[in-house]
Amino acid sequence: MTATTDGSGGAPAFRAPSASDRTTDHRPAPEDPGNLGTTALLAAQRSVEHLLGRQDTQGWWKADLETNVTMDAEDLLLRQFLGIRDEKTTAAAAVFIRGEQRADGTWATFYGGPGELSTTVEAYVALRLAGDGPDDPHMERAAAWVRAQGGIAASRVFTRIWLALFGWWKWEDLPQLPPELIYLPSWFPLNIYDFGCWARQTIVPLTVVSAKRPVRPAPFALDELHTDRHDPSPPRPPAPAASWDGVFQRLDRLLHRYHRVALRPLRRAAMNSAARWIIERQENDGCWGGIQPPAVYSMIALHLLGYDLDHPVMRAGLESLDRFAVWRDETTGPGGRPEGPARMVEACQSPVWDTCLTVVALSDAGVPADHPALVRAADWMLGEQITRPGDWAVRRPRLAPGGWAFEFHNDNYPDVDDTVEVVLALRRVKHPDPLRVDEAVARAGNWTLGMQSRNGAWGAFDADNTGTFPNRLPFCDFGEVVDPPSADVTAHVVEMLAHEGRAHHPRTRRGVEWLLREQEPNGAWFGRWGVNHLYGTGAVVPALTAAGVPGSHPAIRRAVGWLESVQNDDGGWGEDLRSYREESWIGRGVSTPSQTGWALLALLAAGERDGKAVGRGIAFLAAAQREDGSWDEPYFTGTGFPWDFSINYHIYRQVFPLMALGRYAHGEPPTGRNGG
């Protein structure tokens, strides 16, 4: 892989390979497979050198976070709406979008996945903005496929909102959410805090957009994407009145009627309250929540309320979005034709997550606890701890802050997963100021305990964010909009608490009991934030054994049996994203370095170091490693929303294999504080 700047300065980021240059570059299989300990050590050493060379001078690591072309399409649509779209940005975005098109004319949401309607519609519109004509062969293929799938009318709500901004869809045919929603108290159903933080940050500005119903002049027609050009938005048949879907569809009709009769002073006050809510949550770097979708909708909403592009809030927001862009200096298209620079937009950036995982991996590989790179990383992570309340305090008003976020700037939304992994990383470092580390860890531990949900488990951003109503709204037809506890987050918490000497704490034991209850009949655990059962199982087994569950426990034995049963013939493990929808895909997929690492972490924690499955897995990782110590992995193994939004964390292919190799060569990490 080649490198490019990541928009934050400092070290180069890992470049996202285009569809045309993604190839597998495996090293030859080790000549002496019987001496796997030496093989693992040599592979780990190469990986360590590679990762140490990628650290930023400030102490962090950050690799590309690749999602799908809707990020790039919506970025162009935002610029078109605000009147700031420029030729250089448009041309570079179009190069990237074209490079991701599949042979059948569609765009997928993950590498190797099927064509997806809304993604294809948005990519098509972005290329039209870039000057690609509807008669171009690649555009004709896309338009024909869209029509065959039902046209724009069958796309998701968020896609049709973007099209409504330019008159390509009617606002009257979109679900309605009024800005008066901002006034609902936190105990009332469907208040904004019933939604997960990512949905909350998106919905609040969209209530303003929905109330304003703006239409900018469309630069071209989109008749070719409609199945019925005379009536491009035919009504959909309602669900039965006795069903929940029917209830919420009829509620949506009432909200449309309310839109026509809403009291002007109340509506104006609600939109102003929404604007204040939005501005209060803008981060120091200008973004919202550290992620792209709330940022683009927030800027549209504020612009509609009179904030011009020179306003400090808007200017900072636009500058933050530019930092999400990953530029490639030169790319080639079909037949090796040069196409100039390409621009990929990240949905968010993951320096805290990447850094803490990298520190753990380097420690597992035997890097000394006082190594300067680890100390620099610890210093940077300590400086990122969040010590002021955020939206999580609505449910936990008496809880003192102390968490970490995923991104460079996201103080309103620290998350449990990053917090506990940072603690695990800090404990791997021999820091010159151990008292500072102890104080930070104490704050983090107390905050984490306080974020436990009533059922004994942990969600990512909020406690007890388990309501079912938000998912039923017609408006919310894309991805998860609530944040219930998950096995992978709960497992990471349990592992951290065990390493902090709290394995027998009552809250830890409740987490262990919840995890044991959540095991699937096949022996695996569901993966909410990674793909999928391999991720869940790879997190839970090490957590359970760290908390004192013996390797002979039936739950551990069932997990080992499942992992052995789904190992691929090449010795690796892989699970396709389709496992979120189809049981037949559970544990099945092309072997990947990151998922092989997860499986090995579980097997090693279960005491299977000398087992045949572990040996074959270690040999796979050594054979798959590149000459420079890295691994290639075009497949998406991270999860934003199960099935709906997938992520290729380019750091995963580097850190999880190294963790597995290191633990195989050096043994499991000790339980309890390290680095002191």
Could you give the CA distance from residue 145 to residue 115 in angstroms, rounded to a whole number?
A: 9
Distance, CA of 452 to chain centre: 22
Kindly give the residue spans of alpha helices, DSSP state H, lying in 500-592: 506-518, 533-546, 554-565
Burial of 359 (0-12, 13-18, 19+ CB in 10 A): buried
**DSSP letters along 432-444, please?**
S-HHHHHHHHHHH
| Separation in Å, CA 676 to CA 332, 399, 429, 435, 607 | 51, 28, 8, 10, 27
Annotate 566-635 with three-state secondary structure.
CCCCCCCCCCCHHHHCCHHHCCCCCCCHHHHHHHHHHHHHCCCCCCHHHHHHHHHHHHHCCCCCCCCCCC
Active site residues: 417
The phi-psi region of residue 336 (left if phi > 0; otherwise alpha if psi is between -120 and 50; otherwise beta) is left
Which of 621, 499, 595 is CA-nearest to residue 539? 595
| Per-residue DSSP letter, 19 | T
- 65-66 and 325-332 strand pairing: unpaired
Could you give the CA distance from residue 462 to residue 484 in angstroms, rounded to a whole number?
A: 8
| Separation in Å, CA 384 to CA 64, 225, 406, 520 | 20, 47, 10, 37
Which amino acid makes up residue 624? A
Q: Are 108 and 68 in contact (CB under 8 A)?
A: yes
Could you give the CA distance from residue 459 to residue 477 in angstroms, rounded to a whole number?
A: 21
Within 13 A of 636's CA, how many CA atoms are on the CB side?
A: 25
Q: In degrees, to the nearest 5, what angle opens at C-alpha 358 toward C-alphas 654 and 44?
A: 55
Instruction: Show Cβ contacts of residue 390 under 8 Å, excluding neighbours closer than 6 positions.
Output: 401, 411, 412, 413, 414
Could you give the CA distance from residue 422 to residue 425 in angstroms, rounded to a whole number?
A: 5
